[in-house]
């Protein structure tokens, strides 16, 4: 048990001690604002304040955890002994050359995302404008890196190891935007598709559609048996996020009322678990979001507690509040469509802190490490280049003993069109994840 002293025990400090010191670093702790209690304590202890004392570890505190509200001024950054850090300090008596608690809070609270940012055509923050990208944090789960460094400091000073040592974890996930390319879409949708293919001269697609609809060829998006066999061999279950709504420009899946689709959903739920993939327009539409979650719950005959926003469209904090109100406990939306890496400087799940309400929530955010569409469509990379990037990201997560969450789509494993050669990318990732070193 570590005793942490601070002159003010704020909601921000309680959150980051719970998240950084307990959940990530793995230490049990208690906190006090009573200086004499701190001095009298004979075990490992941390003085988190602006006033040095020789007793225990001294961490020179920045002001962030003792304030409320949102300041548009960016925190200072500097390269030092701990790499590029936030809230560096010059006090030679401190045990580390920056404030790791304030730095971790700034990233995990998504502080930067409450401030104005340029957006793309889907109302998503442009990655290059974000704090983590501009300061070079995005390719490393730096919060976990900082936690491992702080763990080493505690061990050297007190000989204390974490009560819950961190281990690497791997979680594959899939968005089911279109369960099938042709099957079960109904006469009129397929007729419209055939007319489009014919007018555009895509006669190979027209032929393929006819072969699939006549049962001669398998639907190219029907890769579920391949997926499930692959994961059964390694003993890791993927999670699936199911999109359904009225068809529109960005929502093209089947109706939840189709018996064949409901059968597939129940199959995926039994083999890995299903969450909701709230449709394109749910970002700021809580009623629509709730209706979709309830419909999926009826199809599964059970509660729906996981989600990932379609197109990764969310707004902090509104979308997360809507998810909480709808009964979602775990959200997997945290990542950029345009860049791989760690949007909050973190690879493992952590609780969402609502800065406007100055309160932690029960919603766990599960950052993704990359999306295959980012590599193929946004960065225009081929399979071999993508394997290299995935390996680098995987190594960074393994070294930090974090959680590697991949985002793929069933259609990306079709080995057709722009996805030729991508099965080997997915299989290479699985091999990396199950090896001790890569």
Residues 230 and 358 in one domain: yes
Report how many domains make up the chain. Answer: 2
**Separation of alpha carbons 128 and 280, rounded Å:** 23
Residue located via tokens 């809230």:
87
**Strand ranges in 208-305 using DSSP code E only, listed in sequence order:** 239-242, 274-276
The angle subtended at Cα 352 by Cα 265 and Cα 434, nearest 5°, is 55
Range of the domain at 27: 2-158
Both structure tokens of 208: 């393929």
Residues 367 and 287 in one domain: yes
Both structure tokens of 423: 């099965």
User: What is the reported pLDDT for 84?
Assistant: 86
Residues 9 and 119 in one domain: yes
Is 188 within a domain? no
Residues 177 and 137 in one domain: no
437, with CB counted inside 10 A (0-12, 13-18, 19+), is exposed
List the beta bridge partners of residue 364: 330, 351
- Residue where a domain terminates, one of 158, 190, 206: 158
Q: Is the preceding peptide bond at 241 cis, omega within 30 degrees of 0?
A: no
**Separation of alpha carbons 255 and 253, rounded Å:** 7
CB atoms within 10 A of CB 436: 6
Is 31 within a domain? yes
Strand ordering across the sheet containing 2-5: 29-32, 2-5, 45-49, 57-60
**Separation of alpha carbons 138 and 342, rounded Å:** 5
User: What is the reported pLDDT for 198?
Assistant: 64
Residues 40 and 175 in one domain: no
Is 291 within a domain? yes
Is 194 within a domain? no
Residues 140 and 177 in one domain: no
Both structure tokens of 198: 């014919």
**Separation of alpha carbons 99 and 102, rounded Å:** 6
Q: What is the distance of C-alpha 130 from the center of its chain?
A: 16
**Separation of alpha carbons 343 and 128, rounded Å:** 11
**Strand ranges in 274-355 using DSSP code E only, listed in sequence order:** 274-276, 306-307, 330-331, 350-354
Residues 109 and 175 in one domain: no
Q: Which DSSP string corresponds to 342-380?
A: -TTS--S-EEEEETTTTEEEEEEE---SEEHHIIIIIS-
* CA-wise closest residue to 107 among 277, 366, 343: 343
Residues 131 and 236 in one domain: no
Is 229 within a domain? yes
* CA-wise closest residue to 131 among 95, 170, 86: 86
Is 233 within a domain? yes
Q: What is the pLDDT along the chain (438 residues), one digit of tens a residue?
A: 999 999 999 999 999 999 999 999 999 999 999 999 999 999 999 999 999 999 999 999 999 999 999 999 999 999 876 678 999 998 989 999 999 999 999 999 999 999 999 999 999 999 999 999 999 999 999 999 999 999 999 999 999 999 999 999 999 999 999 999 877 676 556 566 656 766 677 666 666 666 666 777 888 899 999 999 999 999 999 999 999 888 889 998 888 989 999 999 999 998 889 999 999 999 999 999 999 999 999 999 999 999 999 999 999 999 999 999 999 999 999 999 999 999 999 999 999 999 999 999 999 999 999 999 999 999 999 999 999 999 999 999 999 999 999 999 999 999 998 999 999 999 999 999 998 765
* CA-wise closest residue to 49 among 2, 8, 78, 107: 8
- For 64, 98, 103, 220, the CA distances from 75, given in Å and listed in that order, are 9, 12, 9, 49
3 state SS of 190: helix
Is 97 within a domain? yes
Is 199 within a domain? no
Residues 230 and 345 in one domain: yes
Residue 235 maps to which CATH number? 3.20.20.370
Residues 406 and 261 in one domain: yes
Residues 63 and 115 in one domain: yes
Q: Would you tell me the crossing angle of helices 383-400 and 142-158 to the nearest 10 degrees?
A: 30
Residues 152 and 233 in one domain: no
CB atoms within 10 A of CB 178: 18
């Amino acid at each position: 048990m570590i005793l942490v002293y601070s002159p003010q025990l704020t909601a921000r400090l309680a959150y980051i001690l719970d998240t950084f010191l307990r959940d990530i670093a793995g230490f049990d702790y208690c906190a006090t604002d009573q200086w004499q209690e701190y001095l009298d304590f004979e075990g490992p202890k941390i003085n988190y304040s602006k006033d040095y004392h020789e007793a225990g570890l001294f961490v020179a505190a920045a002001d962030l955890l003792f304030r409320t509200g949102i300041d548009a001024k960016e925190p200072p950054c500097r390269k030092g002994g701990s790499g590029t850090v936030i809230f560096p300090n010059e006090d030679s008596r401190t045990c580390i050359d920056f404030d790791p608690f304030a730095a971790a809070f700034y990233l995990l609270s998504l502080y930067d995302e409450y401030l104005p940012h340029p957006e793309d055509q889907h109302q998503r923050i442009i990655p290059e404008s974000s704090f983590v990208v501009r300061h070079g944090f995005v390719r490393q789960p730096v919060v976990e890196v900082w936690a491992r460094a702080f763990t080493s400091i505690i061990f050297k000073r007190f000989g204390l190891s974490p009560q819950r040592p961190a281990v690497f974890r791997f979680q594959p996930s899939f968005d089911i935007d279109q369960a099938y390319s042709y099957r079960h879409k109904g006469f009129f949708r397929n007729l419209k598709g055939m007319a489009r293919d014919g007018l555009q001269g895509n006669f190979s697609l027209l032929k393929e559609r006819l072969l699939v609809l006549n049962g001669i060829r398998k639907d190219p998006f029907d890769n579920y048996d391949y997926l499930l066999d692959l994961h059964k061999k390694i003993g890791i279950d993927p999670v699936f996020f199911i999109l359904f709504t009225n068809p529109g420009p960005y929502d093209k899946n089947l109706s939840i009322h189709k018996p064949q689709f409901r059968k597939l959903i129940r199959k995926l739920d039994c083999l890995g678990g299903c969450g909701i993939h709230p449709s394109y327009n749910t970002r700021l539409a809580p009623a629509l979001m709730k209706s979709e979650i309830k419909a999926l719950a009826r199809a599964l005959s059970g509660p729906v507690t996981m989600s990932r926003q379609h197109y990764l469209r969310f707004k902090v904090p509104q979308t997360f509040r809507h998810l909480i109100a709808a009964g979602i406990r775990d959200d997997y939306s945290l990542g950029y469509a345009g860049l791989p890496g760690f949007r909050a400087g973190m690879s493992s799940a952590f609780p969402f802190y609502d800065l406007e309400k100055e309160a932690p929530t029960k919603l766990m955010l599960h950052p993704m490490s990359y999306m295959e569409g980012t590599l193929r469509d946004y960065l225009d990379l081929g399979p071999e280049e993508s394997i290299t990037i995935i390996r680098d990201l995987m190594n960074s997560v393994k070294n930090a003993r974090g959680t590697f969450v991949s985002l793929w789509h069933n259609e990306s494993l079709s080995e057709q069109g722009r996805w030729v050669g991508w099965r080997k990318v997915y299989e290479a990732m699985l091999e990396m994840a199950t090896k001790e070193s890569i």
